[in-house]
């Protein structure tokens, strides 16, 4: 399923508001009460839609804003809250308009709709019901779970919830002697993260959507205390592996990579007669030019992707930027290595080209990254 545009800023007033105020914390309180805690994006709505062939059941829906956005994108949604807006029993949304019909219902409703995808958007911090909802849903045969909120240590869900979705690598209350949190040593992850998408956040704390699939037999996974890295969430909550990141590159990134390869082939063909004239082996140039092209294209596409990913530190992008630079310089370095056969003005020209276009390539990488993250926000 692809969005009809309902999740884009034009049809998504919360996304637009967030973008207009640049996610400034001053605007958060009113935005949250009028719309929702999580800010939906096209990508997030698409991911949930794609994971919800039989529709969505949302628990703790508040004003029903996410339900409304999903419904506008053609997803069949049932939404529940223990005290839906504008109930006076809900101090968050008292007197606020609902965006979608939200029925009165608690975590037990999850078990009534195991065919649907269970959606929890900013489930209450440190309360038991979100964990109970995903346990009941699993027990009833539920297959897919979508969670919008912060990671462990944030203000969504409790420690048991994060243990059940495999977002913890150990029982922190026991390992660190943290008082006031339930022990999770005996908790087996029931859910495995398959997709993750970062969302616009208010302030510093990163917000994200995670999609999970059920672990059929949770007892088979090692105990939480024995794990050295998140098991069920591996590849999602931890840093995605390079392969996962490559898979997530998307059509645009893959097309860009192929375009760069095509450009390098064309360049080698164009300069072929010139190289021959100066006694440089054009076959070697072609081999180096084409051989380094995938590294150049991938370096640029991955660099942009990682720089704009608010959930990843900048250092994750550095190896890709380094690969981009090495791939960029390699064909010219070969030319300069053959400098004995080239006139001085050609050598100077190549050196100038490296400096100017190298700086241009890196500059464009950061500009694209900034532009794309602004579009997302
Ligand atoms: C932090 S708000 C998030 C609301 C909404 N998902 C959003 O993003 O704006 C948590 C919501 O969970 C609801 N809630 C609390 N306990 C619940 C329960 N046991 N069953 C269903 N909803 C519950 C609250 O009424 C509140 O609307």
- Tell me which of 15, 81, 98 to substitute to probe ligand 1's pocket, judged by most ligand atoms within 8 Å of the beta carbon: 81
Residue 171 Cα to ligand 1 midpoint, Å, equals 26
pLDDT of residue 164: 94
Asked whether residue 2 is domain-assigned, the answer is: no
pLDDT of residue 123: 97
Query: Is the CB–ligand 1 distance for residue 61 below 6 Å?
Result: yes
Q: Which atom of ligand 1 is nearest to the CA of 125?
A: 1
The pLDDT mean for the chain works out to 81
Which is more confident, 204 or 355? Answer: 355
pLDDT of residue 239: 46
Could you tell me the pLDDT band of residue 236, with boundaries at 50, 70 and 90? low
Q: Examine the pLDDT at 118 and tell me if it is beyond 80.
A: yes
Asked whether residue 191 is domain-assigned, the answer is: yes
Last residue of a domain, one of 238, 256, 271: 238
pLDDT of residue 178: 63
* Per-residue model confidence as pLDDT tens digits over 301-350: 777 777 765 545 667 778 888 888 888 888 888 877 875 666 777 778 87
Looking at the structure, do residues 29 and 149 belong to the same domain, yes or no? yes
Query: Is the CB–ligand 1 distance for residue 191 below 6 Å?
Result: no
Asked whether residue 118 is domain-assigned, the answer is: yes
Query: Is the CB–ligand 1 distance for residue 199 below 6 Å?
Result: no
Atom 14 (ligand 1) nearest CA: 60
Last residue of a domain, one of 238, 261, 291: 238
Q: What percent of the chain has pLDDT over 90?
A: 43
Query: Is the CB–ligand 1 distance for residue 194 below 6 Å?
Result: no
Looking at the structure, do residues 213 and 267 belong to the same domain, yes or no? no
Looking at the structure, do residues 313 and 216 belong to the same domain, yes or no? no
Q: Examine the pLDDT at 287 and tell me if it is beyond 70.
A: yes
- Distance (Å, rounded) from C-alpha 66 to C-alpha 207? 15
Q: What percent of the chain has pLDDT over 70?
A: 79
pLDDT of residue 354: 79
Q: How many domains does one find in the chain?
A: 2
Could you tell me the pLDDT band of residue 85, with boundaries at 50, 70 and 90? very high
Asked whether residue 4 is domain-assigned, the answer is: no
Looking at the structure, do residues 224 and 203 belong to the same domain, yes or no? yes
Could you tell me the pLDDT band of residue 115, with boundaries at 50, 70 and 90? very high
Q: Examine the pLDDT at 360 and tell me if it is beyond 70.
A: yes
Looking at the structure, do residues 103 and 169 belong to the same domain, yes or no? yes
Asked whether residue 294 is domain-assigned, the answer is: yes
Looking at the structure, do residues 63 and 115 belong to the same domain, yes or no? yes
Looking at the structure, do residues 19 and 80 belong to the same domain, yes or no? yes
Query: Is the CB–ligand 1 distance for residue 46 below 6 Å?
Result: no
Query: Is the CB–ligand 1 distance for residue 82 below 6 Å?
Result: yes
Q: Is the dihedral of CA 49, 52, 54, 57 positive or negative?
A: negative
Asked whether residue 143 is domain-assigned, the answer is: yes
Among 32-36, 195-199, 256-260, 262-266, the range scoring the smallest mean pLDDT is 256-260
Asked whether residue 1 is domain-assigned, the answer is: no
Residue 223 Cα to ligand 1 midpoint, Å, equals 30
State the DSSP code for 342. Answer: S
Looking at the structure, do residues 296 and 201 belong to the same domain, yes or no? no
pLDDT of residue 205: 78
- Distance (Å, rounded) from C-alpha 353 to C-alpha 68? 53
Looking at the structure, do residues 41 and 95 belong to the same domain, yes or no? yes
Q: Which atom of ligand 1 is nearest to the CA of 38?
A: 8
- Distance (Å, rounded) from C-alpha 149 to C-alpha 288? 46
Query: Is the CB–ligand 1 distance for residue 64 below 6 Å?
Result: no
120 touches 148 (CB < 8 A): yes
Q: The tokens 């884009």 sit on which residue?
A: 8
Strand partners, 114: none
Last residue of a domain, one of 219, 238, 257: 238
Looking at the structure, do residues 190 and 253 belong to the same domain, yes or no? no
Looking at the structure, do residues 234 and 250 belong to the same domain, yes or no? no
Q: What is the CATH number of the domain that holds 92?
A: 3.40.50.150
The residue range of the domain holding 250 is: 244-376
What is the model's pTM?
A: 0.64
Query: Is the CB–ligand 1 distance for residue 221 below 6 Å?
Result: no
Q: Examine the pLDDT at 280 and tell me if it is beyond 70.
A: yes
Please give the average per-residue pLDDT across 195-217, as a whole number: 89
Residue 62 Cα to ligand 1 midpoint, Å, equals 6
- Distance (Å, rounded) from C-alpha 355 to C-alpha 213? 48
Looking at the structure, do residues 217 and 234 belong to the same domain, yes or no? yes
């Amino acid at each position: 399923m692809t969005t009809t545009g309902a999740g884009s800023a034009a049809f998504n007033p919360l996304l637009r508001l967030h973008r207009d105020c640049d996610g400034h914390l001053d605007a958060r309180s009113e935005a949250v009460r009028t719309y929702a805690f999580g800010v939906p994006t096209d990508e997030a709505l698409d991911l949930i839609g794609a994971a919800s062939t039989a529709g969505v059941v949302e628990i703790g829906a508040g004003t029903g804003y996410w339900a409304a956005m999903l419904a506008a994108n053609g997803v069949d949604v049932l939404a529940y809250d223990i005290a839906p807006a504008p109930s006076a029993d809900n101090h968050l949304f008292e007197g606020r308009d609902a965006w979608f019909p939200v029925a009165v219902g608690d975590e037990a409703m999850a078990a009534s709709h195991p065919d649907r995808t269970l959606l929890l958007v900013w489930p209450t911090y440190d309360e038991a019901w979100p964990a109970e909802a995903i346990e009941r849903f699993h027990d009833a045969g539920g297959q897919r779970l979508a969670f919008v909120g912060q990671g462990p240590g944030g203000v969504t869900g409790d420690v048991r919830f994060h243990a059940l979705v495999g977002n913890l690598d150990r029982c922190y209350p026991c390992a660190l002697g943290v008082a006031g949190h339930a022990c999770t040593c005996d908790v087996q992850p029931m859910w495995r993260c398959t997709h993750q998408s970062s969302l616009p956040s208010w302030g510093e704390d990163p917000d994200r959507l995670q999609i999970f699939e059920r672990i059929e037999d949770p007892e088979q996974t090692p105990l939480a205390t024995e794990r050295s890295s998140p098991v069920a969430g591996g590849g999602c909550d931890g840093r995605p592996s390079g392969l996962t990141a490559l898979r997530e590159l998307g059509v645009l990134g893959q097309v860009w990579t192929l375009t760069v390869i095509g450009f390098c082939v064309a360049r080698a063909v164009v300069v072929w007669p010139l190289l021959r004239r100066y006694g440089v082996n054009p076959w070697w140039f072609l081999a180096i030019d084409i051989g380094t092209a995938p590294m150049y294209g991938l370096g640029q596409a991955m660099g942009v992707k990682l720089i704009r990913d608010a959930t990843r530190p900048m250092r994750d992008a550095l190896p890709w930027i380094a690969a981009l630079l090495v791939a960029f310089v390699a064909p010219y370095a070969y030319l300069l290595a053959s400098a004995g056969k080239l006139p001085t003005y050609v050598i100077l020209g190549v050196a100038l080209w490296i400096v100017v276009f190298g700086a241009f390539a890196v500059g464009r990488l950061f500009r694209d990254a900034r532009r794309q993250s602004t579009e997302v926000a």
